[in-house]
């Protein structure tokens, strides 16, 4: 987990090392998984994608509202995961523009009750 209030340089280095080792990195572009609805995107996803010229695979996760309580009560919950089209980037692309494209892609995949 990343402390969004003050991101440590060591965290950025660890993510970069994972990318160099060709490991899959999952970053929530809103900077959190807490709360309801799609939030404003932050630039972290775009930063790493542009720096390393790797695609972003937008991924929408739905059906997680209240899931912890349901699991605690041994209730099954359906979770839906939707993968969008890759967003290809190159050095020189703007972080704001790539973040906007990523968030628009997510917005298009989520159902109305998640927006």
Decide if pLDDT at 110 tops 80. Answer: yes
> Total domain count for the chain?
1
pLDDT band with cut points at 50, 70 and 90 for residue 37: confident
Q: Which two tokens stand for residue 1?
A: 């987990």
Does residue 40 sit within a domain?
yes
d(CA 4, CA 7): 6
Does residue 31 sit within a domain?
yes
Report which of residues 75 and 55 the model is more confident about.
Answer: 55
Does residue 56 sit within a domain?
yes
Q: Containing domain of residue 40, as a range?
A: 9-114
d(CA 48, CA 82): 22
Q: What are residue 59's DSSP bridge partners?
A: 83
Q: Are 59 and 34 in contact (CB under 8 A)?
A: no
pLDDT band with cut points at 50, 70 and 90 for residue 71: confident
Does residue 4 sit within a domain?
no
Does residue 38 sit within a domain?
yes
Does residue 52 sit within a domain?
yes
Does residue 2 sit within a domain?
no
Q: Which two tokens stand for residue 107?
A: 């917005």
Does residue 29 sit within a domain?
yes
């Amino acid at each position: 987990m990343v402390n969004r209030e003050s991101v440590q340089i060591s965290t950025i280095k660890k993510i970069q090392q994972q990318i160099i080792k060709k490991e899959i990195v999952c970053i929530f572009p809103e900077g959190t998984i807490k709360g309801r609805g799609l939030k404003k995107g932050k630039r972290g996803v775009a930063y790493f994608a542009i720096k390393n010229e790797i695609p972003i695979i937008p991924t929408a996760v739905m059906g997680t509202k209240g899931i912890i309580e349901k699991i605690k009560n041994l209730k099954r919950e359906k979770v839906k995961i939707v993968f969008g089209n890759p967003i290809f980037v190159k050095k020189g692309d703007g972080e704001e523009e790539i973040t906007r494209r990523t968030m628009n892609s997510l917005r298009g995949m989520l159902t109305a009750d998640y927006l």
